[in-house]
Structure 1
Amino acid sequence: MEPTKSNSALQAIRDKYIAKGNVSGTSSYVDYAKGALITDVEGKKYIDFAGGIAVMNVGHSHPKVVKAIQAQAEKFTHTCFMVSPYESAVRLAEKLCDAVPGDSPKAAMFANSGAEAVENAIKIARYYTQKPAVIAFDGAFHGRTLLGMSLTSKIKPYKFGLGPFAPEVYRMPFANCYRCQFNREYPGCNLECAEHLEQIFINTVAPEQTAAIIVEPVQGEGGFIAPPKEYFVKLKEICEKNNVLLIADEIQTGIGRTGYMFAMEHYGVEADITTTAKSLAAGMPLSAVVGKKEIMDAVHPSGIGGTYGGNPLCCEAALAVFDIVESENLLEKAKKLGATLEDRFKKMQEKYEIIGDVRGLGPMIAMELVKDRAARTPAPDETRALVKYCFDRGLLILACGTYGNVIRFLMPLVITDEQLEAGLEILEGGMVAVSQ
C-alpha cells in the first residue's frame, strides 16, 4: 500500500502545529515498527539501535504485548485504581516487588512516567525520614518536571531558562573513571568519589537534614557511566551510617537493559527505594516506585497516587513484558548481546583513534568520541556527523553525555543477529567517515 503521507508533508504540519521546543531527532515519520526494525511512511526501513530511548527492550509490537493490550481494551480501559481497583495492577506489583533486588519485604505504587516515579520516590523518602534535603549527582538525569529538573544536572537543554527550581537539592561528583573529577585512577583511588559523600555531609548539607541520595546505577543522559562495582557498596555504607535513604533510579537501566532485571544486581546492593519506567510496559506509559515496605507504607492513605497511575492497559502490557523476559530467556540473551557489543566496540577502538572510551554494563553500552585521546577532548561535531551518517543509511543511533560526544546503544534485546550485524557495519562505515 502506498503511504498516504510523505515525510515532508508531515513535517510541514508539524512545523505549523507542534511547539518548537518539542523536537525530534529525525524528520522521518514512523508508519510501522516490529522487533528491531522501524518503517517510515515512505517505506524506508531503519535498524533501531535507539529503542525509543530504552523503552523497547522486548522489541516493537511484540505479539504478546499487542494481544494483552487488545484483550484488556475489550474489557475496560480505565476505572482509576484509586476508585475501582483491578487484578492486573495487584499482580504487577507482586512481580515488581519480587524482581527488585534485596530480601526486604517490599511494596509498590504506580505512576505514568519516569519523572513522576522520581517525584513520588522523593516524597516518600521525605515523609518516612521527616527530612527535606536530597543529594543528586553531576551528570544525573531524573526528568523534566520541576523536581526532576532540579535533580537533573545538565543545564542545556533541560534546565536553561526554565527555573527557578525546587529547593533542598544538593549535588556531588559521580564516579566517572574516564573523567575523574578527583584526578585519581581506579583502583588506586580508594573510591574517593564515594568517600566524598562524607565531605558533603560536613560542608554542604548535614545528614540530619538529608532524606536521601538519588543515583542512577548507570548514568543515562550523562553518558552511560558505570561506576566500579564497589562504589555503591561504599555509598550504601555511608548512607546507612547517617540514616539517609538510597534511591536507585532504574528508569533507564531496568527491565533487562544491563543483562539483569535491575542493574543494582551487578553491585550486590539493595536500594531503599527503586524507580522504574521506560521498558516496564513496552511503550505504554507506566512507571513504578518499589521500596522497602516499612518505607512505602509510611505515607498516610491517599498521600500518593494519581488518576492514571497503573492504568489497566499498561499493567497488562507490563505483565506481558515479564512473561516475555522469562519465556524468551531475554536476560541471558541480553548478556550475550552485551558481550558481543563490547568485543566489537573494543576492536573498533583499536582501529579508530576517535573512540576514546568504551563503557557500560552489558548491552547498555556506549562509546565516547574524542578529538585527541591523550587530552580526551570531546568531539561533539563528529558525534553529530556519525548520527547523521547512520540515519542516512538506515540506522538509528543516539548521542548523549555532558558534552554531546557519546554514542549510546539501546537496541531491542530481541534484535536478530542479521539485524545487529547490518547495523554494526553501517556504524563502522560511519567511524571511517568521521575519522578522516
Structure 2
Amino acid sequence: MALNIPKCLELVNIDKGMTSPAAKVPYYPLVVDRGKGATVIDVDGNHYIDLLSSAGAVNTGHCHPRIVDAIKKQTENLILYTPVYMYHEPLIQLSQKLFDITPGEYRKRVFYGLCGSDANDGTIKMARTATKRKKIISFYRAYHGSTYGALSLSAVSLPMHRGLGPLLPEIHHIPYPDVYRTPYSGMDEDDVTKYCVERINELFKTCVPAEEVAAIFFEPIQGDAGLIVPPKSYVKALRQICDTYNILFVSEEVQQGFGRTGKWFGIENFDVVPDVVVMGKAIASGMPLGAVVAKAELMEQWEAPAHLFTAAGNPVCCAAACATVDVIRDEKLRENATAIGAYALARLKEMQNRFEFIGDVRGIGLSIGVDLVKDRETKERNTEAAAKICYQAWQKGLLLSFFSGSVLRIQPPLVISKDQMESALSKIEEAFEDYESGIIPDSVLETVKGW
C-alpha cells in the first residue's frame, strides 16, 4: 500500500523550484517534521524507523532531551560572541572533553569549524604549515566533503569535480584496501595489504618524494565508498610508513566518530594512534560544528588569521557537543552500538545466504554496508536493486539509503533498541522479497537517484 503523503508531495514540488539541484541527492519525497530517538515523523504524520541518522549526524538520536536542554539553557545565556576575539566557557569545556576521548597520550590542541568539510580544509593548512611540506596523499573513492580542500581530497564521484577545476594542487590519490572488490581475483587480506602498500612505495619511487609529503588522510572505514573496512595489517603498515618518513597520519573521523563503531573513534578498532583526528557530523548531535584535535606542536607553528570563522565553536554548538559526549558515555551508547551492530550484521549475513543479489555484508558496530550485485562472481554493482529496495523500505516505514551505487547504508542512531532494529531488519527482508519477486515498479527509479 502506498503511503499517504499529500503535504510531503506539495512541499517537495515547491522545494524543487527553489533550491539548487547540486545540493540534493533525493531518495524519496519525504518531508521531515519531527524526530525522537530512532524515529522520524513526516509532515503527513507517517512514522519511520531511521537507519540513516541524518547522514550519521545524530548518533544520540533525534532531539535527545539532554541535548535539547543543553541547547535551550545556552541560548538563554549567549548564542554567539565570536571566539576569534573573545573567549567563552563552553568551548573550553568541550576542548577538554575532546582531549579526554581522542586517542594519544601526547599534548593536544584543537581548532573548530562549522562542519567536517572545513575541518579537512583546516587540516591541510595545518599539515603544510607544520611540516613545511606541500604534498598530501588521500585515497581513491574517498569522500571528505564539499569545500575546495575537502573536495580536492575526495575521489568518489565525478559530478563532484566536473567543471570545478582547478582544485588544490599537490594532492595525490592511492588505492584503498578493499578486500571485497580486490585489485586481482583470488586475493586475501594479506595480498590486498601488500598490494596497497606497494602502491605507496611505487608512488614514492616514481613521482611523489616521500620527504615532500605532509600528511596522509585516512578514513578508518571508507564511508561513502560503501563502508569499506580495511585489514588491520594495512592500517598498521600505513602508520609505520608515516613514522618512517615523518608524515602526519590523519584519521578522518567525520562519519565514523562519536561511538559509531562501538569506539569513540573508528581508528581505535585498529590499534593505531593517529597524529590528527578530524571530526564533524555527530560531534554536536546535529548542530553545525567541526573540530580537529592534533598534537599541540602542529598547531603552534601557524598564526591567525590562517584558519578561523566567526561562528566556529559558538557557545550553543559547544554546549550541544559537551552534552553529546556525556550522553554517549553515560548511556553506554558505544556498548549499544557494538551489541546491536553485531546482531544486525548476523541477521544480514543470514539474508545473504538467501538472496543471491547480496554480494557482501560488512561493517563494525552500527556502521554496516550491504553490497548489492548483479552477479556474485563479477561483483557488478546493482544500482537498480539498491534504489528499488530503499524506496520499498520507505513505503514500509523505514528510512534506508544507499551510496557507492549499490551499498545499503545502515547507520541508525546509537540509541536504537533491539526491538526497533529487529523491526527494521524485517522490513528490509520484506523489501528484498519484493525485489526478488519483481513487484517493485521501474517507475520508482524516476524518484530515487541516490549517491
- TM-score category, normalised to shorter length: over 0.9
Residue of structure 2 equivalent to 1:120: 122
- Determine whether 1:287 maps to 2:290: yes
SS in 2 for 1:191: helix
Q: CA deviation at 1:298?
A: 1.9
Residue of structure 1 equivalent to 2:408: 407
Query: How far apart are the structure 2 equivalents of 1:171 and 1:182?
Result: 19
SS in 2 for 1:187: helix
Structure 1 residue identity aligned to 2:422: E
- 1:291-329 CA-to-partner distances (Å, cap 9, x unmatched) read 011112221243322111101110000000111011101
- 1:226-251 CA-to-partner distances (Å, cap 9, x unmatched) read 10112111001111111211111000
Of 162, 168, 171, the match for 2:170:
168
Residue of structure 1 equivalent to 2:20: 19
> Does the 8 A contact of 1:175 with 1:194 survive in 2?
no
SS in 1 for 2:286: coil
Of 325, 328, 340, the match for 1:325:
328
Query: How far apart are the structure 2 equivalents of 1:253 and 1:304?
Result: 24
Query: How far apart are the structure 1 equivalents of 2:132 and 2:183?
Result: 32
Superposed CA RMSD in Å reads 1.6
Structure 1 residue identity aligned to 2:410: F
- Determine whether 1:237 maps to 2:253: no
Residue of structure 2 equivalent to 1:223: 226
- Determine whether 1:37 maps to 2:34: no
> Does the 8 A contact of 1:258 with 1:363 survive in 2?
yes
> Does the 8 A contact of 1:256 with 1:330 survive in 2?
yes
> Does the 8 A contact of 1:182 with 1:193 survive in 2?
no
SS in 2 for 1:73: helix
Residue of structure 2 equivalent to 1:201: 204
Q: CA deviation at 1:253?
A: 0.4
Query: How far apart are the structure 2 equivalents of 1:59 and 1:258?
Result: 15
Residue of structure 2 equivalent to 1:250: 253
> Does the 8 A contact of 1:195 with 1:235 survive in 2?
no
Residue of structure 1 equivalent to 2:443: none
> Does the 8 A contact of 2:110 with 2:294 survive in 1?
yes
Structure 2 residue identity aligned to 1:265: E
Query: How far apart are the structure 2 equivalents of 1:189 and 1:33?
Result: 42
Change (3 A) 1:21 1:6: same
Gaps of 5+ in 1: none
Change (3 A) 1:12 1:186: closer
Of 63, 66, 72, the match for 1:64:
66
Query: How far apart are the structure 1 equivalents of 2:290 and 2:366?
Result: 22
Residue of structure 2 equivalent to 1:426: 427
> Does the 8 A contact of 1:133 with 1:168 survive in 2?
yes
SS in 2 for 1:164: coil
Q: CA deviation at 1:160?
A: 2.4
Structure 1 residue identity aligned to 2:139: F
Residue of structure 1 equivalent to 2:448: none
Structure 2 residue identity aligned to 1:178: Y
Q: CA deviation at 1:187?
A: 3.0
- When the two structures are superposed, what TM-score results if normalisation uses the length of structure 2? 0.93
Q: Tell me the percent identity.
A: 35
Change (3 A) 1:188 1:16: closer
Query: How far apart are the structure 2 equivalents of 1:224 and 1:160?
Result: 24
> Does the 8 A contact of 2:216 with 2:248 survive in 1?
yes
Residue of structure 1 equivalent to 2:53: 51
Gaps of 5+ in 2: 1-5, 438-451
Q: CA deviation at 1:186?
A: 1.8
Change (3 A) 1:39 1:190: closer
Moved more, 175-184 or 124-133: 175-184
SS in 2 for 1:326: helix
> Does the 8 A contact of 2:32 with 2:43 survive in 1?
yes
Structure 2 residue identity aligned to 1:15: K
Query: How far apart are the structure 2 equivalents of 1:355 and 1:236?
Result: 33
Residue of structure 1 equivalent to 2:262: 259
Which structure 2 residues correspond to residues 131-146 of structure 1 after superposition, within 5 A?
Answer: 131-146=133-148
> Does the 8 A contact of 2:344 with 2:425 survive in 1?
no
Q: CA deviation at 1:62?
A: 0.1
Structure 2 residue identity aligned to 1:151: L
Residue of structure 2 equivalent to 1:305: 308
Query: How far apart are the structure 2 equivalents of 1:283 and 1:390?
Result: 24
SS in 2 for 1:390: helix
SS in 1 for 2:318: helix
Structure 1 residue identity aligned to 2:266: A
Residue of structure 1 equivalent to 2:440: none
Q: Which runs of 4+ in 1 moved over 4 A?
A: none
> Does the 8 A contact of 1:106 with 1:292 survive in 2?
yes
Equivalent residue pairs, number:
432
Structure 1 residue identity aligned to 2:182: C
Q: CA deviation at 1:84?
A: 1.8
Q: CA deviation at 1:182?
A: 4.9
Moved more, 216-225 or 206-215: 206-215
> Does the 8 A contact of 1:182 with 1:192 survive in 2?
no
Residue of structure 2 equivalent to 1:75: 77
- 1:56-110 CA-to-partner distances (Å, cap 9, x unmatched) read 1100000000000000000010000112211111111111112111221111111
- 1:140-181 CA-to-partner distances (Å, cap 9, x unmatched) read 001111121111112333222222211111011000011122
- Determine whether 1:95 maps to 2:127: no
Q: CA deviation at 1:389?
A: 0.7
Of 388, 393, 397, the match for 2:391:
388
SS in 1 for 2:336: helix
Q: CA deviation at 1:26?
A: 2.5
Query: How far apart are the structure 1 equivalents of 2:374 and 2:353?
Result: 15
Structure 2 residue identity aligned to 1:148: A
> Does the 8 A contact of 1:198 with 1:238 survive in 2?
no
Change (3 A) 1:250 1:189: closer
Query: How far apart are the structure 2 equivalents of 1:108 and 1:230?
Result: 29
Query: How far apart are the structure 2 equivalents of 1:18 and 1:303?
Result: 32
Query: How far apart are the structure 2 equivalents of 1:15 and 1:346?
Result: 38
Residue of structure 1 equivalent to 2:281: 278
> Does the 8 A contact of 2:177 with 2:193 survive in 1?
no
Structure 2 residue identity aligned to 1:279: A
